[in-house]
Amino acid sequence: MDPVVERIVHHESDEHDELPERVAALVDETQLWELMSAYSWDDGFDVPLAVVRHPRCDRALALRLYWELDDAAQIHHSDEDHALCENYTVEATYQPRQFETLVAYCTALVDGLRAEAFPIGRNSYDTGFFGLDDPALTDRQRTLRTARTKRAQAEYEDGFIRPVTGAS
């Protein structure tokens, strides 16, 4: 593991406030990917918020955060006015600063994907939608993927479902 990433992942409890600055010091999207692969979501949303605000957070990582690593942003996308309050009632009531960070993370991620604001980087992520020209797909897989994509387009903007093949 990259030593800078490891220092963030395995931080001491008294270093928690320094973590966003450490994330900001990461130099590329592959370090951000590695960080989020090893991150414990029990540590809160300060690090994920710093990651989605990082200028090198690429679209593949943003999609992975949305679809795979945590469902808070999906909950937020479903009902941006009320869903997080309903699903995170304890945090909203008893931990308002942590809840504000959660909302900021979800908003930055959802708005960034919606606006297609995250750059294409070296990371790749297959959302399971589109990609119909992939020669590795069988005819059956292509048919299923076409149907899944069509259903997803009724609920999501393309920025949420279009896969990313990173630049090399």
- Report residue 164 as tokens: 């990313």
Q: Say if residue 84 is exposed, middle or buried (CB neighbours under 10 Å; 0-12, 13-18, 19+).
A: buried
Q: How high is the pLDDT of residue 109? A: 98
Q: How high is the pLDDT of residue 134? A: 84
Helix (H) / strand (E) element for 63: namely helix 59-64
- Whether 168 has a pLDDT exceeding 70, the answer reads no
The tens digit of pLDDT for each residue in 107-158 reads: 999 999 999 999 999 999 999 999 888 888 899 999 999 999 999 999 999 9
The tens digit of pLDDT for each residue in 8-54 reads: 999 998 898 999 999 999 999 999 999 999 999 999 999 999 999 99
Q: From the CB of residue 31, how many other CB atoms can be counted at a distance below 10 Å?
A: 19
- Whether 167 has a pLDDT exceeding 80, the answer reads no
Please tell me whether residue 125 adopts helix, strand or coil conformation. Answer: strand
